[in-house]
């Protein structure tokens, strides 16, 4: 609802500007700047109508925006709906928008920012998906870059044309933040300065995950776990979809098929597995159900405008929904995890939290797939009361914040792992994500690379698709192609929908089982490098997985490449399906990690950059084993005969790394004559890595030849080459 003082302001503005269109009102803005970040606030902005659910850190005022600052929004109102437009000049490549379909390069694209349960991305041809990221990254021809945050959670449309960026909301005025820096990497650091970074995940979360909707009994779960170990296919986590519940009631267990979850989880732990269980927001309306009774007693449910409980149909039937805008609701929700997690659960999967509502009983022109726009949310604390049109895009983000807090409270010594389907820009602080209900089709396989890249460019470094495709049957050929590169995405999980064929790594015959084993062994060998990248992302906000143009932002050839991708800045991944990808210039040598990874046609090609040292572990079946026994340093010299790299390591699950109980080793290599000397050039942190690092060896890749040596951290390694 518009406040009276705003109405007076708009009437005055209309009367004083007779030449203006009667429906579209330009709004003046003031701006401040600090650290190459400017914030523009339109006249009449009211935080009680557009609260910030995106920013973590308040912007510190330092000075007015200088006159030479070129990127300035033009605010306007059209029938009380606010918009902002940026006019662009020059050749600019546009990226971002978060979870989107289509190409990496977003010039000429339009998306609707309205979180939607969108199976196979079919709704509106994929123009709206499960998450909202009102964010654009622009890269100029010279490699300098800018980023724009539209700080609003109202339903909106984002258009990114080459000459104009336009954000049109269905709600009140909002602030705009502009970051303008010398490179896209520095812009993403600025995004992190405002929205925060993800916390370090537990090490096991970087392993391979196996899931199905659903593994319907304890016996089936045990069979899946045993088969992984019998076939020596690496895996760290087994996931439980909704069939583990009693009648799809959240925070319960099916007494017939999952009678003893504590023993099940304990037994899986003994085999080196972690477990992840799904929790949806919809709570079955049932007076005999303790969670519903508790929620009713605490008055936490979303209500209709007439004050009655809002009910919508989800898996259990009629459901009530927590109003996460209220602090007491979030506290109540967090408290539900205590007893649940005590059964030995390791991670939580928040799904259906757009929130998705099955309203198919309504006429087709009245179906929303969620709550009606006018459904009120009561707010509290820093959040004002407001309609669902304002809070819909933030619903999943508020849910995972409460979930994360509850999981931490249940076991304060361990880092939590939360995966979410719905989220908002800045939500990387609370949960990892996957790209929703994709389809077992080569188009979706190829789409998963630009989708994950774009999420990384939008502040979410921990993402990946359902490997193999969730919906419909998967062929052995498709699985092999997908697993061959999918294991190098930040989040690696195989998943399958009910009614589809089996999609475990061994389900397609012995040849593709071997392909799967090779692909997963490659990921596990690279876990020390990946863990280091996650630490760097936690510290800086830089993505784990990057577009190839990050190697040289000024190289226009690379701007639209979305088949190949970088892991960090030292490793290049080229999927087997890639056709004539645009690759960075310079020295890039083929990197072989396990036997068969060059001869298997489905494996992605890996290239190490000249001047790089990449730390790798040994092949293990899970992260509970001694991954650094030994630690191998893959060394690729640059044209000057030098290389450098680093390794971050800690205990893997605790918070002690924040107090210095970690180890950050920096390595340097230099070639003199025929000898390459690799040393530890610096060492920080208090973690005694020697207890994990049983041996140290090096592989020097020089002009397609490899040379090996061994040594220790104190004395380094000398490798003799030809």
The residue annotated as part of the active site, out of 243, 354, 692, 702, is 354
- In sequence order, what are the residues at sequence separation of 6 or more whose Cβ sits closer than 8 angstroms to the Cβ of residue 551? 558, 566, 569, 584, 586, 609
Strand pairing class (663-672; 696-702) = unpaired
| Strand pairing report for 432-434 and 418-420 | parallel
User: Phi/psi class of residue 435: alpha, beta or left (left: φ > 0; alpha: ψ in -120 to 50)?
Assistant: alpha
Residue 353 structure tokens: 């939290």
**Are 51 and 59 contacting, i.e. CB atoms less than 8 angstroms apart?**
no
Write the CB contacts of 84 (distance below 8 Å, at least 6 apart in sequence). Answer: 73, 74, 75, 76, 150, 166, 167, 174, 176
- Report the C-alpha gap between 666 and 676 in whole angstroms: 16
Distance CA 6, CA 637 (A): 63
DSSP 718: E
Whole-number Å distance between alpha carbons of 564 and 543? 15
**Among 351, 521, 561, 692, the one annotated catalytic:** 351
Q: In the annotation, is 589 catalytic?
A: no
Cα four-point dihedral sign 328, 332, 333, 338:
positive
CA angle 446–448–453, rounded 5-degree value: 115
Beta-strand relationship, 376-377 and 386-387: antiparallel
Closest to 206 (Cα-Cα) out of 430, 460, 529, 690: 529
Query: Which listed residue (401, 437, 504, 551) is catalytic?
Result: 437
Give the relative orientation of helices 184-195 and 527-540 as an angle to the nearest 10 degrees.
70
Closest by alpha carbon to 114, among 80, 153, 172, 166?
153
- Tokens coding 188: 């993403």
437 is catalytic: yes
Catalytic residue status for 354: yes
The residues near 520 (Cβ < 8 Å, ≥ 6 apart) are: 208, 233, 234, 235, 483, 487, 505
The count of other CB atoms within 10 Å of the CB of residue 313 is: 14
Q: How buried is residue 458: exposed, middle or buried, by Cβ count under 10 Å (0-12/13-18/19+)?
A: buried
- Catalogue the active-site residues: 351, 354, 437
């Amino acid at each position: 609802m518009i406040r009276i003082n705003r109405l007076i302001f708009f009437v005055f503005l209309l009367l004083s500007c007779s030449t203006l269109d009667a429906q579209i009102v330009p709004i003046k803005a003031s701006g401040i700047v600090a650290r190459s970040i400017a914030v523009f606030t339109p006249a009449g902005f009211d935080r009680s109508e557009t609260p910030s659910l995106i920013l973590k850190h308040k912007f510190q005022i330092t000075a007015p925006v200088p006159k030479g600052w070129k990127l300035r929004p033009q605010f306007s109102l059209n029938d009380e709906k606010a918009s902002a437009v940026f006019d662009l000049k020059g050749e600019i490549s546009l990226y971002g928008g978060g979870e989107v379909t289509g190409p990496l390069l977003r010039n000429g694209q339009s998306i609707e920012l309205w979180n939607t349960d969108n199976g196979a991305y079919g709704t509106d041809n994929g123009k709206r998906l499960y998450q909202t990221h009102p964010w654009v990254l622009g890269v100029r021809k010279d490699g300098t870059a800018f980023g724009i945050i539209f700080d609003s959670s109202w339903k909106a449309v984002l258009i990114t044309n080459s000459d104009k960026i336009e954000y049109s909301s269905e709600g009140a005025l909002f602030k705009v933040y502009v970051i303008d820096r010398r490179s896209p990497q520095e812009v993403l650091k600025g995004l992190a300065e405002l929205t925060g970074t993800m916390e370090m995940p537990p090490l096991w979360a970087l392993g391979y995950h196996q899931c199905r909707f659903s593994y319907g009994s304890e016996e089936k779960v045990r069979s899946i776990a045993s088969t992984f170990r019998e076939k020596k296919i690496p895996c760290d986590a087994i996931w439980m979809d909704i069939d583990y519940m009693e009648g799809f009631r959240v925070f319960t267990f099916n007494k017939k098929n999952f009678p003893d979850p504590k023993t099940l989880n304990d037994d899986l732990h003994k085999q080196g597995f972690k477990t992840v269980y799904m929790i949806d927001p919809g709570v079955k309306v049932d007076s005999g159900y303790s969670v519903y009774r508790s929620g009713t007693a605490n008055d936490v449910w979303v209500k209709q405008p007439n004050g009655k409980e809002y009910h919508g149909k989800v898996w259990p039937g009629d459901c009530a929904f927590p109003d996460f805008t209220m602090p007491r609701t979030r506290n109540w929700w967090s408290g539900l995890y205590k007893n649940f997690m005590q059964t030995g659960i390791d991670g939580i999967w928040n799904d259906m939290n757009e929130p998705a509502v099955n309203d198919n009983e309504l006429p087709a022109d009245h179906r929303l797939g969620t709550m009606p726009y006018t459904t009120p949310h009561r707010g509290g604390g820093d959040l004002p009361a407001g309609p669902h049109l304002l809070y819909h895009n933030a619903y999943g983000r508020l849910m995972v914040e409460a979930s994360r807090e509850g999981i931490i409270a249940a076991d304060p010594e361990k880092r939590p792992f939360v995966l979410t389907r719905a989220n908002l820009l800045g939500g990387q602080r609370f949960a990892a994500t996957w790209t929703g209900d994709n389809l077992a089709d080569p188009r979706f396989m190829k789409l998963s690379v630009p989708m994950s890249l774009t999420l990384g460019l939008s502040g979410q470094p921990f993402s990946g698709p359902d490997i193999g495709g969730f919906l419909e049957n998967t062929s052995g050929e498709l699985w092999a192609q997908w697993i061959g590169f999918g294991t190098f995405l930040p989040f690696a999980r195989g998943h399958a929908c009910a009614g589809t064929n089996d999609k475990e790594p061994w389900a397609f015959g012995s040849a593709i089982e071997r392909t799967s084993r090779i692909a997963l062994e490659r990921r596990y060998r690279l876990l020390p490098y990946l863990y280091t990248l996650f630490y760097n992302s936690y510290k800086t906000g830089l993505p784990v997985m990057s577009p190839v143009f990050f190697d040289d932002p000024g190289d226009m050839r690379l701007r639209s490449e979305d088949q190949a991708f970088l892991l960090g800045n030292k490793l290049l991944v080229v999927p087997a399906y890639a056709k004539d990808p645009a690759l960075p210039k310079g020295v890039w040598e083929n990197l072989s990690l396990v036997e068969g990874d060059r001869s298997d046609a489905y494996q992605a090609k890996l290239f190490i950059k000249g001047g790089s040292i990449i730390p790798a572990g040994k092949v293990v079946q899970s992260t509970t084993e001694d991954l650094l026994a030994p630690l191998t340093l893959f060394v690729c010299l640059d044209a000057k005969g030098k290389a450098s790299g680093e390794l971050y390591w800690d205990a893997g699950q605790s918070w002690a790394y924040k107090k210095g109980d970690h180890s950050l080793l920096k390595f340097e290599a230099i070639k003199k004559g025929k000898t390459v000397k690799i040393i530890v050039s610096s060492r920080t942190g208090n973690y005694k890595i020697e207890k994990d690092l049983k041996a140290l060896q090096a592989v020097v890749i020089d002009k397609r030849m490899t040379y090996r040596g061994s040594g220790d951290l104190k004395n380094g390694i000398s490798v003799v080459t030809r």
